[in-house]
Amino acid sequence: MIREFSATDVMFIAMAVRWTLILSVIAFAGGALGGLVIALSRTSGSAGLRRAAAGFIQVFQGTPLLMQLFLVYFGLAVVGLPINPLLAAAVALTLHASAYLGEIWRGAIEAVPSGQSEAATALALSYNSRMRYVVLPQALRLAIAPTVGFLVQLIKGTSLASIIGFTELTRAGQIINNATFKPFLVFGTVAALYFIVCWPLSLLARYMEARMRRAITR
């Protein structure tokens, strides 16, 4: 039976924001670790590591995130390894984030003037020391703005987890819409909550990009 859209429904949807944020944090943290490995592999002296990292990026940037979610959730079940929706979404989004963050951070590492690494080499610093003390601290400044921008995209990407039954913000909206049949009110509320979460991060990314441009032109 169809019922009215009420304040209780708004609260149910709003409470689902925490699961969107939890999934985003897990995926971003895992993606950060994976992305660092990918970025360092892409800029290493080993041709094998560079090819493997490039192949990983091509696979996960060249296929839809929705298909990746399906492959993790349904694919593991087919081979006898059933997985709950939260874990499946976390794994798929982590792999997705690793590919994109790896490429973002590779670009930041390669944007550091080569003279910095050459000077460190002249001081007899090892590869690990060069990256840790010379290159990565400078690359970090360049990578902050695009990394925050990607985080916004990742938060919005968590909405696809609703397809495999994980009750985050979008799925909560679907549940309430099925009970009230008020799509404009329900999904308007969902959109407003996504905006509230993502807009400050978008502003932060723009501010950082503008600040970095001013620093470069000085």
CA–CA dist 76, 65 (Å, integer): 16
DSSP letter for 133, please.
I
Q: What is the mean pLDDT of residues 152-180?
A: 95
CATH of 7-217, one of 3.30.70.890, 1.20.1440.230, 1.10.3720.10, 3.40.190.10: 1.10.3720.10
Q: What is the mean pLDDT of residues 54-66?
A: 95
Tell me, rounded to whole angstroms, the distance of Cα 144 from its chain centroid: 13
Indicate the range of 5-14, 51-60, 93-102, 132-141 predicted with least confidence.
Answer: 132-141
pLDDT digits (tens, 9 = 90+) for 29-43: 999 999 999 999 998
What ranges do the domains of the chain cover? 7-217
Instruction: Reply yes or no on whether the pLDDT at 178 is more than 90.
Output: yes
Interior angle at CA 126, CA 124 and CA 131, nearest 5: 120
The burial of 6, by beta-carbon neighbours within 10 Å (0-12 exposed, 13-18 middle, 19 or more buried), is given as exposed
Residue 218: band (very low, low, confident or very high) from pLDDT cuts 50, 70, 90: low
